[in-house]
Amino acid sequence: MEYTSGAASWQKVLRRAVVGLLPRRPRQRRPGWSIGVPLIAAAAGLLFTTTATTAGGTPLREDRRPQLTQLIEDRREEVAASEAKAARLRAEVEEQTGALAGADGPIKAQRDRAAASRQAAGFTALTGNGITIELNDAPRRADQPLPKGASNDDLVVHQGDVQAVVNALWAGGAEAMSIMNVRVLSTSAVRCVGNTLLLHGRVYSPPFKIVAIGDPAAFQRELAASKGVRLFREAVDHYQLGYSETISTVTVPAFEDSTALQSAKVLR
């Protein structure tokens, strides 16, 4: 028994010695993907968790246009309500001023003086011979390609186009003018936001209708002489934008916005 145990021990010693003399095989490196996969999985889990928290149970790709449309409609209702309130307050001021004018000479004199200037200032509606100009974007479907050499900007009415028509009508001696049935004065600002028109704080979509009272022949001469109008009419031919002139008896409403003084300059 002792001999067998000793032989086994010597065999172990000999095996270790032989193994020690053999060249050691280099340790194999773990491939990079075996380390990267857990990291990628952890990052993906973090991303999914963050996305779920941000979404709050709603789809992130949900179309927000209905919400934007509702927001715009809400703001329009607020503006309309504010305008109605302002009109009611102006009527109350006018009523009280009229009551005072019956007993106060200076107030009556100033009231009569203001009344004489109301028509020239644009605070009364006017009817007479005139012209109606209508500008419109080019008709285009979503699946229809753009005309050759054209961009999206070439197919819509811009602020400069509307302003060119307005300036030509003023130059033609317009007695009164309206845009989208809103009375405009010589100091009214015409601005465009995208393909919509911003006038006195209200937004309008095309087609844009401009009405002016005066000599139709003079209007047509000034429109034909206007460089901006000519360029737009050339675009009408190339890109099918809308442009029309109609001579008829027209009505321009009274100016109804606030008359509060915004700024003043002292002339010496």
In this prediction, residue 245 carries a pLDDT of: 95
Average pLDDT across the chain, whole number: 77
Residue that wins the pLDDT comparison between 120 and 24: 120
Residue that wins the pLDDT comparison between 18 and 202: 202
Global confidence as pTM: 0.59
Most confident range, picked from 12-21, 120-129, 154-163, 224-233:
224-233
Q: In this model, does residue 165 exceed pLDDT 70?
A: yes
Q: Which residues, listed in sequence order, are joined to residue 238 by a DSSP beta bridge?
A: none
Residue that wins the pLDDT comparison between 267 and 185: 185
CA angle 155, 161, 162 (to 5 degrees): 120
Segment 18-29 shows an average pLDDT of: 53
Handedness of CA 64, 66, 71, 72 (dihedral sign): positive
Segment 237-247 shows an average pLDDT of: 91
Q: Per this entry, what is the length of the chain? A: 268
In this prediction, residue 3 carries a pLDDT of: 45
Q: Are 162 and 197 in contact (CB under 8 A)?
A: yes
Could you tell me the two tokens for 258? 């606030």
In this prediction, residue 1 carries a pLDDT of: 46
Q: In this model, does residue 257 exceed pLDDT 50?
A: yes
Q: Are 99 and 126 in contact (CB under 8 A)?
A: no
Handedness of CA 131, 132, 138, 139 (dihedral sign): negative
Q: pLDDT tens, 54-93?
A: 655 555 555 566 677 778 778 878 888 887 888 788 788 8
User: Do β-strands 191-193 and 208-213 pair in parallel, antiparallel, or remain unpaired?
Assistant: unpaired
Residue that wins the pLDDT comparison between 180 and 77: 180
